[in-house]
Amino acid sequence: MPNEIKKPVRNKTKNIEIIEQKLAKGLGTLIAWGFSSQSWSVTDLKSLATATKFPIAIKEIPTTNAMNLAISKFKVKDDDKNLITAKKVHEDNDVYTIALYQTKLDSNSKKATGETIDRIVFDAQSKTFLSKGTTEYSKLLCKDIQFRLEYYQGNEFRKWLIMPLINLCKPIKYSGGVYFIGSAFSDKIDLLESFCNAAGVSFRPLDMLSSDRTKKNIAETAKKTMAEDIQNLFAKFKTYKNRKRVRLDGRKGMQADIDSLRTQAEYLKDILDSDIKEVLSTISELDKEMDELNNRQPTTTQTSNKVLQVWKNAMCKKYELQKDGNITGYRIPITDFEQLLIPKTAGNKFYWKPDQRLQLAVNELGYEGKLLGKSLILTPKTQG
Question: What angle is formed at CA 337 by the lines to CA 340 and CA 353, rounded to 5 degrees?
Answer: 115
Task: Note the pLDDT of residue 350.
Answer: 87
Q: Is 47 helix (H, G, I), strand (E, B) or coil?
A: helix
- The DSSP bridge pattern shows strands 83-92 and 95-106 to be antiparallel
- The DSSP bridge pattern shows strands 326-333 and 375-380 to be antiparallel
8 Å CB contact between 178 and 56: no
Q: Is 152 helix (H, G, I), strand (E, B) or coil?
A: strand
- Secondary structure (DSSP) of 208-248: E---HHHHHHHHHHHHHHHHHHHHHHHHHHHHHTT-S---H
Task: Note the pLDDT of residue 301.
Answer: 64
- In the chain, domain spans: 63-150, 229-299, 305-380
- Provide the 10 A C-beta neighbour count for residue 128: 10
Task: Note the pLDDT of residue 23.
Answer: 43
8 Å CB contact between 149 and 61: yes
Regions in the chain scoring below 70 on pLDDT: 1-25, 107-110, 300-302, 383-384
Task: Note the pLDDT of residue 104.
Answer: 82
Rg, Å, the chain Cα set: 30
Give residue-wise pLDDT tens across range 94-151.
Answer: 899 999 999 887 766 667 778 889 999 999 999 999 999 999 999 999 999 999 999 9
- Provide the 10 A C-beta neighbour count for residue 302: 15
> What do you get for the CA distance between the two ends of the chain, in Å?
120
8 Å CB contact between 361 and 345: no
CA 376 remoteness from chain centre: 37
Task: Note the pLDDT of residue 16.
Answer: 46
d(CA 279, CA 263): 11
8 Å CB contact between 62 and 115: no
Count the helix, strand and coil residues of the chain and give each as a percent rounded to the nearest 5: 50, 25, 25
8 Å CB contact between 170 and 267: yes
- Secondary structure (DSSP) of 94-146: TEEEEEEEEEEEETTTTEEEEEEEEEEEEETTTTEEEE--SSHHHHHHHHHHH
- Name which of 280, 275, 282 is nearest 215 in CA terms: 275
Task: Note the pLDDT of residue 4.
Answer: 57
Task: Note the pLDDT of residue 6.
Answer: 53
